[in-house]
Amino acid sequence: MFTAAAESFLRQAREIQEEELRRFGARVSALLQGPEPGPEAVDGLQRLHLTVAATKYPRKLDGKFVELLQTVLCSPKSPEQIQVLCAAILREMSPCNDLILSCDEIQDTKLLSLVSSILLAQGNKGKVAAVGQRVVKVLEKRLPEGQSARFLLPVLANVISLSPESLTEEQTNVVSKKLADWLRYASIQQGMAQPSGGFFSSPRTKQPAPVTEVDGAVATDFFTVLSVAQHYTQDQWLNVQTFSMLRNWLLCYGGKELNTTNPGDKAGMDRSVTSMISTAATAGRLLPPRERLREKAFEYCQRLTEQSNRRPLKKDDGDLQKACLIEAVTIMDIICKQDSSYVCRAVSFLKVLHSRICGDASYARALLPIAQFFLNHSKLAAVDSDAIYKHLFTELPAQLFHNPSLAFEFVQFCKDNSQFFTDSSIFRQSFPNLFKFLAWNSPPLISEFVDLLPFLLDAGTAIEIFHLLLDLPCLTAALDMQLRAAALPASEKSSSDPAGKPARCLEAFRHPVYRSMFQYLLRTESAPEDAPESLVPLRQLLGSLAGSPRVVQCAETVPVLLELFFGVVAEFADGSLINQLVVLLLQRSDQLYEIPSFKDDVYRVLSSQLVMLCRLRPALVVELSTEILEFSGTVSNIQSKEAIFTHMVWAIGEYLSVSYDKRCTVEQITRFFETLEAVLFEITQLRPQASTPSCAPRAISVLMATLTKLAARSQDLIPRVSMFLSKMRTFVQSPAVTSVYCEEDLEEILIRATELMNLLKMPSVAQFVFTPPVASTRFQREVNDSLPLALRMVTQLLEPAPGSVPV
């Protein structure tokens, strides 16, 4: 009913808004058809554009009004502001069925840009192709006076983004030649200020000043996006626009004429590089358009990297420097992929660049494309790049984990290159550092780490990563302490008194007792041999930060990664590793960061994964009998870790059998039986003036079932468990128990006790039902999968229905 009412309301609102749009359109239409549309028409168009843009559902305007908008847009008499607004409204209405626009005959570059933007917004590949054809046709001719190609390059960039196949090879060659010229031969003189139109505004005869570098020095080389001027010429604007679209252009069209130099022919490569370095203009013109564009683009990127070494006068110029440097190195990487003759030149150049900027944290993001370049080309150039990777994985995460943009780009870099890193010890050994990014930026990075984690895991890293995942919220808190400690004044950074106990977390950061724990948690490389005996004191110390939003968010990501961890480890783990993980799982269940919801979620995951590990290696129940008995014999584990305890007890009943391990003896079965019997007795005994331990009914049911299974395999135990089961009716009827459990839970416990007791009255049947099959036949699987059904059938056989006549 609510949905129907809501839909009715929305429909009425839509009809009202559409009617309002039509009336508004009619008023604007009258203004546009006046003799000279003025400020009122501009204001009306602005309001209409805002209304159309804010409408969520398909926008509808009168067909005649849409036709009028197109007519006004294409009229040479229309003011530019009105043309821009008409185009904006038509774009917002896309896709539009009433569109009759075409770019085929348009000569004016501004108008062509506006019309093209509307056609591209329609989402029709035919229209995209038509726009591309027209733009290239206009660009290949000499433009009339007053027209500029700068309005068309953004259109061309959109065309190659939407449909790169819409341009032919001949057309891409035309554009490549233009782009090469705009990159390399823009004016190095500043542009003239536009006259204001006043009486004294006639152009001055003063010579234009030269462009400068970011540090104020006069530029002595060709113009780039980092060149500085008060006013820019048209070809300088084209230079900037060309660089902004250069990467995509090269990716789409730069690699169709690949260099055929043999990568192993060093002499041939050297000759190619030597010929390429030639700066003679005539030599450049002899190259095919794509190769010539690559040459000019490479020179341009080299120039940018040189300019990045200058100290900027303005902060904004410094930010632009770094962004351009990143783009330049990325483009050089693309060029080297397309033409291997550039590799040797680029390698030596980028090694120098890396050594210059690696110590400057403000250039940290630029180190990623440099590392990417060496990953792609170091083998071809026969250079050792380990120092570059070592610095990248060791220094950046440790120092800049709190930089969100770097964190995302760094993890994305690792994810994109995970195949490269499969054999890299540097990458695998640096996982503690990588997890700092996740600990500090957990919600945005969780999906990236889901993809990355499998590449970090192997038999050598699994145990340490397991610990690290469980301690991830604690790592977040430790990183918080690290940042706070670094921000302290020098006077407060003195070491704490080793004899006293630190009163605050910040004091503990430098306290001798806690220093080694902090250092291990904040380590930059894998170091399992350096692990302290216990991090429990540190977890307790950092408990005051457990409510921090950042720590809580981090804790929420751990269950997802834990499930992934076990899924990946299950694919390669041998018996030894599985045994280690089970022991650690039981131990670490007592050593988690104190966030209640976090502990509950981790227990849920660990309990289900414990069952999986036992299924993979049933023999571990015998092999780890000491550890398992210690855990399952502790009554407090039922209340604090009910899920793990219940699954562990189930695994004992399922896998403690000679069918799974020939080493299983009657003595071992008896020892497990007596341990679990004592636990069940402890939680079900009814002593005077003693409170009954409250535990989940499921735990009681599983304990009863496991004791019955063990008794079926060592039948001397049957009388003991039968007697115990017979007392469960007294237990569930006790006032102390009925005040704790609901009626349904008590009934379920009693029913299960009765079913198990009846089954034990037929020992041979019980042994068949409860003994795991040696061979996995379909019948045996069905018996095990439908155990509750088997119990009910036996109960019905032994207990006649009420009212039946005994025979």
For residues 146-172, give the mean pLDDT. Answer: 93
Q: What is the three-class DSSP state of 212? A: strand
Q: Tokens in use for 248?
A: 């995509």
Q: What is the mean pLDDT of the chain?
A: 85
- C-alpha dist (Å) from residue 671 to 221, 653, 756: 87, 13, 21
Residue with tokens 């990458």: 427
| pLDDT reading at 775 higher than 80 | no
- Using the 8-state DSSP alphabet, how is residue 362 labeled? G
For residue 773, give every residue at least 6 positions away whose Cβ sits within 8 Å of its Cβ, in sequence order, or none: 659, 780, 781, 784
Which amino acid is it at 651?
Answer: A
- Using the 8-state DSSP alphabet, how is residue 164 labeled? G
| pLDDT reading at 12 higher than 80 | no
For residue 245, give every residue at least 6 positions away whose Cβ sits within 8 Å of its Cβ, in sequence order, or none: 153, 156, 157, 160
| pLDDT reading at 284 higher than 60 | no
| pLDDT reading at 798 higher than 80 | no
The CA dihedral of 178, 184, 185, 188, to the nearest 10 degrees, is 140
Residue with tokens 């694919």: 571
The H or E element containing residue 684 is: helix 666-684
| pLDDT value, residue 768 | 76
∠ CA 626-627-629, nearest 5°, is 65
| pLDDT reading at 239 higher than 90 | yes
Tens of pLDDT, residues 549-558: 999 999 999 9
The CA dihedral of 676, 679, 681, 684, to the nearest 10 degrees, is -120
| Better-predicted residue by pLDDT, 640 or 766 | 640
| pLDDT value, residue 499 | 62
| Better-predicted residue by pLDDT, 762 or 361 | 361
| Better-predicted residue by pLDDT, 807 or 469 | 469
| pLDDT value, residue 283 | 45
Q: Tokens in use for 730?
A: 């007294």
Whether the CB-CB separation of 638 and 699 falls below 8 Å is answered with yes
Whether the CB-CB separation of 518 and 478 falls below 8 Å is answered with yes
| Better-predicted residue by pLDDT, 337 or 286 | 337
- C-alpha dist (Å) from residue 564 to 160, 237, 528, 552: 39, 51, 22, 20
For residues 420-424, give the mean pLDDT. Answer: 78
| pLDDT value, residue 738 | 84
| pLDDT reading at 489 higher than 50 | yes
Tens of pLDDT, residues 616-660: 999 999 999 999 999 999 998 988 899 999 999 999 999 999 989
DSSP 108-149: -HHHHHHHHHHHHTTT-HHHHHHHHHHHHHHHTSPPPTT--G
- C-alpha dist (Å) from residue 555 to 301, 401, 616, 779: 44, 17, 28, 44
Q: What is the three-class DSSP state of 2? A: helix
d(CA 47, CA 66): 16
- Using the 8-state DSSP alphabet, how is residue 651 labeled? H
| pLDDT value, residue 691 | 58
How many CB atoms within 10 Å of residue 40?
Answer: 13
Tens of pLDDT, residues 120-155: 999 889 999 999 999 999 999 888 888 999 999 999
| pLDDT value, residue 5 | 64
| pLDDT value, residue 57 | 59
The residues pairing with 212 across neighbouring beta strands, listed in sequence order, are 218, 228
Whether the CB-CB separation of 603 and 558 falls below 8 Å is answered with no
| pLDDT reading at 281 higher than 90 | no
| pLDDT value, residue 271 | 37
How would you class 88 by CB atoms within 10 Å of its CB: exposed for 0-12, middle for 13-18, buried for 19 or more?
buried
| Better-predicted residue by pLDDT, 480 or 691 | 480
- Using the 8-state DSSP alphabet, how is residue 253 labeled? I
- C-alpha dist (Å) from residue 245 to 238, 290, 669: 11, 15, 73
Task: Give how far the C-alpha of residue 484 lies from the chain's centroid of Cα atoms, to the nearest Å.
Answer: 27
Whether the CB-CB separation of 535 and 519 falls below 8 Å is answered with no
Task: Give how far the C-alpha of residue 711 lies from the chain's centroid of Cα atoms, to the nearest Å.
Answer: 51
The residues pairing with 159 across neighbouring beta strands, listed in sequence order, are none
Q: How confident is the model at residue 533 (pLDDT cuts 50, 70, 90)?
A: confident
| pLDDT value, residue 53 | 83
| pLDDT reading at 166 higher than 50 | yes
| pLDDT reading at 194 higher than 90 | no
How big is the chain, counted in residues? Answer: 807
| Better-predicted residue by pLDDT, 237 or 741 | 237
Q: How confident is the model at residue 241 (pLDDT cuts 50, 70, 90)?
A: very high
d(CA 609, CA 604): 9
Whether the CB-CB separation of 598 and 548 falls below 8 Å is answered with no
Q: What whole-number percentage of the chain has pLDDT above 70?
A: 85
Whether the CB-CB separation of 738 and 746 falls below 8 Å is answered with yes
d(CA 138, CA 126): 19
Whether the CB-CB separation of 305 and 327 falls below 8 Å is answered with no
| pLDDT value, residue 741 | 84
Angle (deg, nearest 10), helices 763-770 and 697-713: 110
Q: What whole-number percentage of the chain has pLDDT above 90?
A: 56
For residues 224-244, give the mean pLDDT. Answer: 95
For residue 589, give every residue at least 6 positions away whose Cβ sits within 8 Å of its Cβ, in sequence order, or none: 603, 606, 637, 641, 644
| pLDDT value, residue 132 | 94
Whether the CB-CB separation of 646 and 666 falls below 8 Å is answered with no
Average the pLDDT over each of 272-281, 652-661, 669-678 and give the range with the smallest value.
Answer: 272-281
Tens of pLDDT, residues 43-94: 989 988 888 887 765 666 778 888 999 999 999 889 999 999 999 999 988 8
∠ CA 164-168-170, nearest 5°, is 135
How many CB atoms within 10 Å of residue 299?
Answer: 18
d(CA 109, CA 87): 14
Tens of pLDDT, residues 588-610: 998 999 998 999 999 999 999 99
Q: How confident is the model at residue 614 (pLDDT cuts 50, 70, 90)?
A: very high
For residues 667-679, give the mean pLDDT. Answer: 95
Q: How confident is the model at residue 797 (pLDDT cuts 50, 70, 90)?
A: low
∠ CA 494-497-498, nearest 5°, is 120
Q: How confident is the model at residue 314 (pLDDT cuts 50, 70, 90)?
A: confident
| pLDDT value, residue 408 | 96
Average the pLDDT over each of 211-225, 228-242, 295-309, 485-499 and give the range with the smallest value.
Answer: 485-499
d(CA 412, CA 392): 14
Burial readout 396-428 (b: 16 or more C-beta within 10 A, e: otherwise): bbbebbebeebbebbbebbeebbeebeebebbb
Of 221, 228, 147, 235, the C-alpha closest to 186 is 235
Of 397, 429, 432, the C-alpha closest to 413 is 397
